[in-house]
Amino acid sequence: MIYELRIYDIHPGRMDNIKKRFEEKTLALFEKQQMIVLDFWQDLNADKIYYVVQHDDVESRNRNFDAFLNDPEWLETKRLSELDGPIVQKVESFLMSRIPFGAGDNYAGNE
C-alpha cells in the first residue's frame, strides 16, 4: 500500500469552487478509478488544500490517475468549473509509504 499526499495551491477567492468540485464530482470520479481519499485538510493560513489518497502500488496509482485525467466526465467537470477562471494554481504530489513506528496503535488516545 502507498499513500499520495496532494497539495493544491488555490487561486485567491476560489476555495469554495474547489470544495464544491470535490464534493459534487471529483470524489465520485476518484472512486470510479479505485482511488481512495483518506482525508482532506484546509490550510488555515493559506489558500491550500491537502489530501491523502491510498493506492495499491505505484503502477496502479499511475494507471488509475491517468484514467481519471482522461475521463470525459472529468474533462467536462473541469471545463465547466473553470468558466470563470482557473481554480488550482499549483499542484504538488508526494508518494509515501507508512513507517511501522508511526501513529499506528498510539493514534487517537489508543496508548
Residues 27-77 pLDDT 10s: 999 999 999 999 999 999 999 999 999 999 999 999 999 999 999 999 999
Q: Looking at residue 110, what is its pLDDT?
A: 42
- Domain 2-98 sits in CATH at 3.30.70.100
Question: What is the domain partition of the chain in residue ranges?
Answer: 2-98
DSSP 66: H
Its pTM stands at: 0.86
The DSSP line for 25-77 is IIHHHHHHTT-EEEEEEE-SSSSEEEEEEEES-HHHHHHHHHHHHT-HHHHHH
